[in-house]
Amino acid sequence: MAEALSIAIAGAGLMGRWHAQYARHCGVRIAGILDRNAGASEQLAAKFPGARAWTDLNDLLQHCRFDAIHVCTPVESHARIAEQALAAGVNVLLEKPLAPDAATARDLLSDANRRGLILMPTHQFLFQRGFLLAQTALPELGRVLHLDGTFCSAGGGSAEPDRLDEIAAEILPHPLSLMERLLPGRLEATNWSVFRALEGEWRIAGANNAVTISILISLQGRPTEASFRILTDGGSIELDLFHGFATIDTAAVSRATKAAKPFRTSAGRFIGAGTNLMRRLATREFAYPGLRTLISVFYDAIRHGWPSPITASESLAVAVARDALLESAGFKRQQGAV
């Protein structure tokens, strides 16, 4: 029997804990937990037999053997951790954004390719059952006319006002990754306009040939929401990204279908939400739907020598589009400690 994969987790915060839990469900051995806070790394490591706690990246890489590292630290530290891990022959899964800017992302992806390793961002929405259903259904619906994403997040609840725009900027890879997967290559040629009425309140509009794009990111709008709508000339698809399911409406134009729409929509969401909840309970996917599947396919690619489930060109397209949006918004990146 082949030896099980071994992995390490960098960052013992909220996302590090979920990555570690789903990694264990995927059958890998958790060899190490890295965090500058010794108490945090020790507390998380204690949950996984055989895992050791570390506070220094060099020590982890020199004295702990593993095949991949999950980087769940602030984006300012991503490049340093990824560079050192790749140099040590370790595959890398990075929380989004992959890197602070597209130039850094390009360098990291090139380095991984040169070494024959996988470096991949955590764009988990691409692996939700709802989005996979949408991809399958889309060719039958017709021409895509409009893509619309809404993200009302509680992530800025305790943040200082000058931090809210940074949090909004960190959300951007979510809608951009969906758009790039649905319409490959379109992000690069999209013309963007960004409106920031308040800190953490972004309205983004884009156009590319016959497709228009809209993204709303709000850290103060309530209730919280993560949704994505695909409008075609043959129907629409609504994605509930918080819960991971989709509803598809292909009703023909008539007075009857117009009158029935509220009931049809409500019934579709009720059935989709109920079925999705039962499946998530059965599979113990209690949070961040799509993340467990993303981690699983990342491991499969390492085991079998397969290409990255998110290609380098796809990852770079998202990073380039994010840079373009930040420039259009006049957003000044904050330099944090690495």
Is residue 338's pLDDT more than 50? no
* Rounded CA separation 190/244 (Å): 27
For 194-224, write each residue's pLDDT tens digit. 999 899 999 999 999 889 999 999 999 999 9
Amino acid at 203: R
| Residue 310 maps to a domain | no
Q: How many CB atoms are closer than 10 A to CB 16?
A: 23
Is the same domain home to 243 and 275? yes
- CA–CA distance, 133 with 135 (Å, rounded to integer): 5
Residues 144 and 234 occupy one common structural domain = yes
Question: Which structural domain range is residue 204 located in?
Answer: 125-283
Co-location of 81 and 195 in the same domain: no
Residues 100, 220, single domain; the answer is no
142 and 61, same structural domain? no
Q: Are residues 79 and 161 in the same domain?
A: no
pLDDT tens for each residue of 225-248: 999 999 999 999 999 999 999 999
User: What is the spatial distance between Cα 134 and Cα 235, in angstroms, rounded to a whole number?
Assistant: 11
Q: Output the DSSP codes for 51-97.
A: -EEES-HHHHHHH---SEEEE-S-GGGHHHHHHHHHHTT-EEEEPSS
Are 162 and 270 members of one domain? Answer: yes
Quote the pLDDT of residue 336.
41
Instruction: Give the CATH number for residue 18.
Output: 3.40.50.720
Q: What is the pLDDT of residue 263?
A: 84
Cβ neighbours for 191, distance < 8 A, ≥ 6 positions apart: 206, 207, 208
Q: Residue 45 has which token pair?
A: 């490591």
Structural domains in the chain (count): 2
Q: Looking at this protein, which amino acid is placed at residue 305?
A: G
Do 33 and 91 share a domain, yes or no? yes
Burial class (CB in 10 A: 0-12, 13-18, 19+), 134: buried
Q: What is the spatial distance between Cα 191 and Cα 104, in angstroms, rounded to a whole number?
A: 23
Length of the chain: 338
What digits encode the pLDDT tens for the residues 251-278?
788 888 888 888 888 888 889 889 988 9
Q: What is the pLDDT of residues 135-160, one digit of tens each?
A: 999 999 999 999 999 999 998 878 88
Residue 65 to residues 30, 51, 114, 132, 338, Cα–Cα distance (Å):
10, 11, 22, 35, 24
- Within this chain, do residues 117 and 138 fall inside the same structural domain, yes or no? no
The residue type found at 112 is A
- Same-domain status, 109 and 136: no
333: confidence class by pLDDT, cuts 50, 70, 90 = low
Helix (H) or strand (E) holding 6: strand 6-10
